[in-house]
Amino acid sequence: MAVMRIPYELRIGWRYTRSARTAARNGFISFISGVSMLGIALGVAALIIVMSVMNGFRAELFDKIVGLNGHAVVQGYDGKLNCWQDIVEQARATPGVKSATPLIEQPLMTSFNGRVQGILLRGMRVSDIRSNQLLKTNVLAGSIDELSPGSGNVAIGARLAEALGAQVGSTISLVSPDGQSTPFGSVPRIVAYRVSAIFEVGIYDYDKAFVVMPIEDAQSFLLLGDAVGMVEIDTVDADRVGDILAPLIPKVRDRGVINDWRSMNASLFEALAVDRVVSFVVLSIIILVASFNILSSLIMLVRAKTRDIAILRTMGASRSGILRIFMTVGTTIGALGTVAGVILGFIFLLFRQSVVNGIQFLTGQNLWDPQIRYLTELPSKVDPLEILGITIMAFIFSFLATLYPAFKAASTDPVQVLRYE
């Protein structure tokens, strides 16, 4: 029965990787190798964590923004659409459009128990309110089913409820500057509404500002008659929204303008894209620096093992065999560091919110302020192709770092080394 033999290059390379710790010099080399491995592990872990968080941040923002604002909106030139029914029919007849719904959005003020907050009033059809998954699945208290035309009920965001000190059953007052005209000027219009539901969609700006009511009540409160503020459009593919809505643009050009989710949130998503690229470059440099540590540790190892190399050459080892020995050492350090980094990165992502909460508890600092970060929790979305790319990049850096020391070892002349032994 044939027994598979491990090539001597791999056995010697693995032994050099562990490095004998009996001599002080070899112990120092082992320490440098350990630091190199740790550096690669931390660099890979940091890169995986940052890229996954960036992906999650973009995905969460996209889902929540599109979930409330749709893929595009048709807005009237004077802030309102009078013949919105025709626009809805034309939009629904456009290939690739899933739905077109009328909306009213108006910045106003609200007050409760002496507290005043700026809000964004959002009027929606009752059927659209009850079918909106983002609202329906994120109700913290009360029920959106109580919203109906003429009921005097509204739903408000959780952060707005906290700021006002309101809860389900509280009566808040909405204030509109466009009220009745009098000989002394315009009198603000103030109407009281009952809070029937409190929701938390997860985006701080929405939870702090949104007040949702039936569109009929919004039209009555804002004195709009039958007009609406905009028509929200959902398509089959958000990334192709421009191409899908291109035939609709000339049909509505005389009544309004179409803005898609990219143009409405351009600065936010552009900032995310730039931050993502910069983070990738900076963290890749960390892995590159760790690879230079592998280079330096291998150079010291070659110097320490010069006599061993000469003996191996006199025993018949080829230059390519010596080359493979030291390439094995370097790539093993890089591979172990990369695997450790991937494991460390996944562990952090799995317990990311607990880690953030623990650091906040220990330091007393708010590391994830929803007012700055938009989202209430640290998001994450792992892209397998990105993880594979990061792993390959770290391995390539480690492999390239082994080439110079390995060629240096392979070019050792055993006659010159052993002449003075």
> What are the E-state strand segments in 210-326?
210-214, 230-235, 256-260
**Per-domain residue ranges of the chain:** 8-62+268-418, 78-254
Tokens coding 240: 């192709």
H helices present in 93-224, as ranges = 126-131, 133-136, 158-164, 204-209, 215-221
CA within 13 Å, CB half, 36 = 30
Residue 132 CB coordination number (10 Å) = 19
Q: How far is CA 39 from CA 47, 294, 324, 337, 401, in A?
A: 12, 10, 24, 8, 14
CA within 13 Å, CB half, 249 = 11
What is the rounded distance in angstroms from the CA atom of residue 319 to the CA atom of residue 342? 34
Residue 306 CB coordination number (10 Å) = 16
Question: Residue 231 in contact with residue 91, Cβ under 8 Å?
Answer: yes
How many residues in the chain?
421
**Could you tell me how far CA 175 lies from the centroid of its own chain?**
37
Tokens coding 22: 């009996």
* Tens-level pLDDT at each residue, the chain (421 residues): 444 566 656 666 666 666 544 444 455 566 777 788 888 888 899 889 888 888 888 887 777 777 677 888 888 877 788 888 888 888 888 898 888 888 888 899 999 988 989 999 999 888 888 888 888 888 999 988 889 998 899 999 999 999 999 999 999 999 888 766 666 666 788 899 999 999 988 777 788 889 999 999 998 888 888 888 888 888 888 878 888 888 888 888 888 888 888 777 777 777 778 888 888 888 888 888 888 888 887 787 777 777 777 777 777 777 887 888 888 888 888 888 899 999 999 999 888 888 877 877 787 776 666 655 666 677 788 888 989 988 998 888 888 888 888 888 778 776 666 665 5
